Amino acid sequence: MRTQSIAGSTAPELVFTRLSRSGDAPHQVFVDRVSLRPVRCTCLAGRRDTVCWAALQVALDDLLPIARQYWAEAKGIAEIEQAAAVYGQVLRRRTAAARVLAERAEHDAKACPQLDRDAPIPYVVTNQGRAALHTSQKADGQC
């Protein structure tokens, strides 16, 4: 299904702020108000058109409740269809964002296992966790 008709609106964007983890200025993630698609961030990565962790975190945490609100407030077939399309896209992007953040967290853990990241994704299985599981499975197998 094509959803380009709802992308790139001229409505004012929503802005979400995340504090920088490296002491720089806070990330300001701009989200298209109609499509709920993150469009840019003020951070260095964002200015280079690279999707930063803050934009992913916003896609993960903040946009689904808004999509639900659009759905609840929709009146008439056209609005309901548009709200359903937006909801589906937000869900798809949320899943993708969770996957990318988990991959990055795993990569960071490999690069520097001692570094205490403030857990961008809960419940991610770390290498240590995997090793512990592997060890306990081995132990079970030897019994």
Q: Quote the CA–CA distance of 41 and 15 in Å, as a whole number.
A: 9
Nearest CB to Zn ion, comparing residues 39 and 85:
39
Out of 46, 57, 60, 101, name the contact with Zn ion by CB under 5 A.
46
Residue 83 identity = A
Q: Is 27 in the site for Zn ion (CB under 5 A)?
A: yes
Q: Is 67 in the site for Zn ion (CB under 5 A)?
A: no
Out of 6, 31, 43, 56, name the contact with Zn ion by CB under 5 A.
43
Out of 41, 56, 58, 121, name the contact with Zn ion by CB under 5 A.
41
Out of 52, 59, 90, 109, name the contact with Zn ion by CB under 5 A.
52
Instruction: Name the minimum Å distance from CB 29 to Zn ion.
Output: 6
Residue whose token pair is 């994704």: 121
Nearest CB to Zn ion, comparing residues 43 and 97:
43
The CA–CA distances, whole Å, from 130 to 32, 75, 116, 137 equal: 39, 49, 18, 10
Provide the 10 A C-beta neighbour count for residue 85.
Answer: 17
Quick one: angle between helices 76-111 and 63-73, nearest 10?
170
- The residue among 117, 121, 14 whose CA lies nearest residue 60 is 121
Stretch that binds Zn ion, among 35-43, 72-80, 81-89, 91-99 (CB under 5 A): 35-43
Instruction: Name the minimum Å distance from CB 100 to Zn ion.
Output: 14
Q: Quote the CA–CA distance of 131 and 96 in Å, as a whole number.
A: 26
- Which residues are at the interface with Zn ion (CB under 5 A)? 27, 41, 43, 46, 52, 54
